[in-house]
Amino acid sequence: MEAAQRESYPNVILDPLKKLKSNMSNYSMAYKYKGNHRTSNMLDRLMQEMDRHLYNTRYFHGTLEAAEQNIRGWVLIKNFAQQKNKNGKTTCWIKSPSEKLNGGRYHDCWLQNLLIFSSLGGFRRAPLNPK
């Protein structure tokens, strides 16, 4: 920051640096606790994918219910469809997030798994807080 002030940089560069320096104590608070994640890269990646989906569908049109169904549909497909993993030159299919979480699958077709789970065919235990 001090080096930037000695040079003649425009305010468009200096202002964010000043803001960063004034908030340094807030940003470094997470480093006081051992074992905590320092950044939210995993969440950021998911949110970027959701933002791309929303951009491609031109965000929300119509009712609040339609917008909710749009996001719920995207999340269901994201959780149950197999994911492509691109490592170097090869492309392979990896387990879906629901398959990883549940430790298995009922059917080889991801859509069948979605139908089973959404119909409570995959019901395994009682709700934690019954009313």
Query: Range of 104's domain?
Result: 81-131
Mean pLDDT of 50-66: 89
Q: Is residue 55 part of a domain?
A: yes
> 43 and 27, same structural domain?
no
34 and 46 part of one domain: no
pLDDT at residue 121 tops 60: no
Are residues 34 and 44 both part of a single domain?
no
- pLDDT > 60? residue 88: no
Asked whether the predicted pLDDT for residue 97 surpasses 70, the reply is yes
Work out the pLDDT band at 60, boundaries 50, 70, 90: confident
Tens digit of pLDDT for each residue in 15-30?
988 898 898 888 777 7
Q: Is the residue at 63 inside a domain?
A: yes
Report pLDDT for 26: 83
Assigned domain for 117 exists: yes
Please give the helix or strand (H or E) that residue 52 lies within, else none.
helix 41-56
23-43 mean pLDDT: 77
Q: Which of 18-32, 43-57, 107-121 has the highest mean pLDDT?
A: 43-57
Task: Give the whole-angstrom CA distance, residue 97 versus residue 45.
Answer: 14
Q: What is the pLDDT of residue 61?
A: 81
What total of structural domains would you count in the chain?
Answer: 3
Domain membership flag for residue 48: yes
* Domain identity same for 128 and 96: yes
What six digits make up the tokens of 46?
A: 């998911």
One domain, residues 131 and 85: yes
Does residue 76 sit within a domain? no
Cβ partners under 8 Å of residue 1, min gap 6: 17, 18, 21
93, pLDDT greater than 60: yes
Task: Indicate the pLDDT class of residue 55, thresholds 50, 70 and 90.
Answer: very high
Q: Is the pLDDT of residue 120 over 80?
A: no
Distance CA 76, CA 60 (A): 18
Residues 6+ positions from 50 with CB-CB distance below 8 Å: 71, 74
Q: Which of 26, 53, 71 is the last residue of a domain?
A: 71
Q: Are residues 1 and 34 in the same domain?
A: yes
- Whether residue 2 sits in one domain with residue 29: yes
* For residue 4, pLDDT beyond 60: no
Q: 45 and 28 in one domain? A: no
* Whether 20 and 34 share a structural domain: yes
Cβ(112)–Cβ(82) below 8 Å? no
Question: Who's near 85: CB < 8 A, 6+ residues apart?
Answer: 91, 92, 93, 94
